[in-house]
A and B are shown apart, each in its own frame.
Chain A
Amino acid sequence: MSTLPSPIPDFCPELGIEIPVSDIDKELRKLWEQDEASTNASLMNLVVFSEKPNSLIENSGIIRELTREHACRAILVEIDSAAEPHIRAWITAHCHLAEGKKSVCCEQISFYLTGRVTGRFRNTVFAHLNSDLPLVFWWQGELSDILTERLVSVIDRLIIDSSSWANPAASFRMIEENSQFNDDLIIQDHAWTRSFQFRIGIASLFDDPTAKTALPGIHMVEITYHPDHRNSALQILAWLATQAKWNDCECADGFAYRSNSGVVISTILRADPASAPLSSLVLRAEAATVQVTYEIGASHLQKQVEAGSYKATSLSPADPTSPAELVGLQLARGGKNSLYQKILPRFRAMLD
């Protein structure tokens, strides 16, 4: 079917049946008519957009995992702007046994677009959305001029990974500029989701009366992170400062704060190439030390409060690392992601 050289082979079982774009709806109907035993389930339109070569096949694998828990119509798009204008399309379905008995299936449409694609891309995606279902748009990699105001205006939830951006400050400005007419846009950042269990862990440790009493006396925050995940470290620092109502101050090297009770809080951000995205968060006060740590490969975080001879430790789930797990967690939590919106100004100020 392809007329131009393409990195995707003519027979590509991972993407399903290759069909003319104009036949997508007809072929999808046929797909369901062939198998009456399966249930077609969908709670959202999930568009996965990438300009990385060969991303379609990789993303199809991710969708296969994701649809075990999140029924959706998946629309995968790979763009190659440098090639001659052309479009190829495939359809398939990912089926899983729900509760070990019923076969629940989710549709997937894949597009490979080449050439200058801004308008074609938008129209192609819009034409194949399931009506009435929310549009979750997962933008992989650097932003580009394909992210326009018109595109953002129809997106309900935009999933990004700010850790993958060369210039996060500029990229956040671009989203801000293009989303000014979409007040309801929910932004979900993998960099933020990677610290979810760390934040839950810290929050639960401060339910402990010993830790809670020590909170006003915190004078040091230490975060160890992988160099590729500095944004996760900065976001968790922005979260701590925002929630504890620490004020920025220039009273120490690096990022420093002053608490309402006047205590100066110093920070140590330690980049370690051998670390997980986040491997440790330690809050030190005179009376106690509160810490959450993670060892690469472990299934759980270690949480600990220590004050003199008192020591309470516990385990909690580790943060997800794979893209499918990260998106799965973001979709499972749903909501407005208001905490991220709350810390975003402080985090962006750290980027400048």
Chain B
Amino acid sequence: MSNPFREDLVSRSPAEPCSIVIFGATGDLTHRKLIPALYNLAVDGELPTGVKIIGFARRQKSDIEFREGLELLNRQVSRSGQDDKIWGNFIQSVTYHTSEFDDVAGYKSLAEKLDALDAEHGGKGNRLYYIASAPEFFDVILIHLKNAGLNEAKPGCWARVIVEKPFGTDLATAKHLNQVVNETFQENDTYRIDHYLGKETAQNLMVLRFANAIFEPLWNSKYISHIQITCAENLGMEGGRGGYYDGAGALRDMVQNHLLQLLSLVAMEPPTDLSADGVRDEKVKVIRSLRQWDTPEKVAANVVRGQYTAGNIDGNAVPGYREEDRVAPKSDTEAYVAVRLLIDTWRWSGVPFYIRMGKRLPKKSTEISVHFKDAPCVLFNTPNAGAPGGNVLVIRIQPDEGISLRMVSKIPGTSLRLEPVKMDFHYATSFGKGSPEAYERLLLDAIAGDATLFARRDEVEEAWKFIDHIEHAWHQSDTPPPMAEFVAGSWGPREADQLLQQDGNQWRRL
């Protein structure tokens, strides 16, 4: 029976009461992102009445100790601050469960605890498992959930799992993990989280393209020269992150998931509907249509990897990549990557897409820029007229989320001089109210059973397939493409500039 009072009231699927079990509950993600996100949903009245949160981790802690630790961080990071009355009410729903991830008894007692909570509070039996542990425990947690029967929903209920990144380290491990996940949960109960998709501007990409009549007719190889996706970070390996990063690299850490997801949203065909599979069917077609760089020669011609050397950021001296904390002195892990991609579809034939991601670049910025072809070479666009470049539509993902359009205008005066001008839309200027954190939206969607903003199995595997060829060329071929260098605080290696110059293009200056 549906809830008639929900009809027409909110424009999304209703979120039902459930128990949320967070594996890896003592970790940073739980304290900094997940609990503050759930708390802010409670502040906004979005968290269903009767939601119970169980933290599952190895460290011995009481409920009270666990709650105190959560409160300490929530006060610092919650976007709405902390209202003691709401927190007091919210935290009563949070308990802690101590167990090793491979301890059968721990899962049995978890099952008993969940049943007891349902019996005590009249819960129906819906379960959401959030695997936020270190990746090496993903398998074992999933297998034990299955062995304990926790993966099976009671009649009329659901059991879902959210899996954090990294979803595998290559195609083989991703396939293995997918197999373990799908032996435990149905694919439509599996939510592979990519927090980039929860960002307001990423969600707005489809609205921009498909709710405005002016863009879609131009969104093809006839009018678009090329598209750039940039994810620049000014941070390096502070806070001990070198340990993880040196084993992953820019390509696997960012491009395989976040940036290919953005690419698929930019390049996808209009979906038949806005259902999760309607959207994901179209997204996966983009990834599947990527031309494969499947030889070292093709990788050398289309991909640039790099490491930064010592330099300056914001006036402060910073070390080179190989001198960073927890990075191997002879590391061959890339801290910068630029990829030239081609999508072999009717719409995008001949349009290069360039993706770049780098650490220790001059500033933090993630954006997509759509570069339109120049106007015909007559009138104002003759070689001598000096028209300053074509139109560029920029979609800023972070920070300062917004959209701008560059166009050419006449400078006032008696002579004919042209300059680029920019029409700019800033979310923060136009909409004073801040956006919810990406995790808030994504957690609520998972509770409501809406997987639109989560990656599907085939999306993940197709992305790894593309990435694997490049990784193989770098690390397993006899003639690996070289590692380029750039000075920390600059916009990446010269080779990355040349990658675009061969097509007559250049990176957008951010």
Contacts and interface: CB of A to CB of B under 8 A. Distances in A.
A208 B45 contact: no
Contact of A205 (B11, B49, B431): B49
A215 B294 CA distance: 60
Interface string B6-21: 1111110011110000
B49 A69 contact: no
Given A102-B428, A205-B49, A307 B122 contact: yes
B433 A203 contact: no
List of 4 A-B pairs having minimum Cβ-Cβ separation, nearest first: A316-B45, A69-B432, A310-B122, A203-B5
Given A98-B429, A208-B50, 8 more contacts: A39-B429, A104-B428, A200-B9, A203-B10, A203-B14, A245-B4, A317-B45, A332-B433
Interface stretch (A2-10, A167-175, A266-274, A298-306): A298-306
Instruction: State the main secondary structure of chain A at its contact with B.
Output: mixed
Given A317-B45, A338-B8, A207 B429 contact: no
18 contacts: A43-B431, A69-B431, A69-B432, A71-B429, A102-B428, A200-B45, A202-B5, A203-B10, A207-B6, A209-B17, A209-B122, A244-B5, A312-B17, A312-B49, A312-B50, A312-B122, A315-B86, A339-B8
B9 A199 contact: yes
A203 B429 contact: no
Contacts of A98: 426, 428-429, 432
Contact of A208 (B43, B85, B122, B426): B122
A245 B48 CA distance: 24
Interface in B418-450: 426, 428-433
B326 interface: no
Contacts of B45: 197, 200-201, 204, 301, 315-317
Contacts of B416: none
A99 interface: yes
A299 B43 CA distance: 11
B1 interface: yes
Given A207-B14, A207-B48, A299-B83, A243 B429 contact: no
A300 B89 CA distance: 11
Contacts of B42: 314-315
A208 B123 CA distance: 8
A210 interface: yes
Interface residues of A, number: 50
Contacts, number: 116
Interface string A96-121: 10110010100000000000000000
Instruction: State the main secondary structure of chain B at its contact with A.
Output: loop
Interface in A42-76: 43, 67-71
Nearest to A283: B5
B44 interface: yes
Contacts of B124: 209
B85 to A, nearest CB: 7
A150 interface: no
Interface residues of B, number: 36
Contacts of B502: none
Interface of A: 39, 41, 43, 67-71, 96, 98-99, 102, 104, 197, 199-210, 212, 215, 240, 243-245, 299-301, 303, 305, 307, 310, 312-317, 332, 335, 338-339, 342
B43 A70 contact: no
B176 interface: no
B48 to A, nearest CB: 5
Contact of A314 (B3, B49, B433): B49
Contacts of B11: 335
Contacts of A71: 429-432
B508 interface: no
Interface string B89-118: 100000000000000000000000000000
A303 B48 CA distance: 11
A203 B9 contact: yes
B121 interface: yes
User: In the complex, which of the residues B8, B15, B48 has the most CB atoms of chain A within 10 Å of its own CB atom?
Assistant: B8
Given A207-B3, A215-B1, A338-B8, A317 B43 contact: yes
Contacts of B43: 317
Nearest to A209: B124
B432 A243 contact: no
A261 to B, nearest CB: 12
Contacts of B1: 212, 215
B444 to A, nearest CB: 12
B159 to A, nearest CB: 16
A208 B10 CA distance: 17
Contacts of A299: 83, 85
B470 to A, nearest CB: 38
A14 B426 CA distance: 28
A207 B17 contact: yes
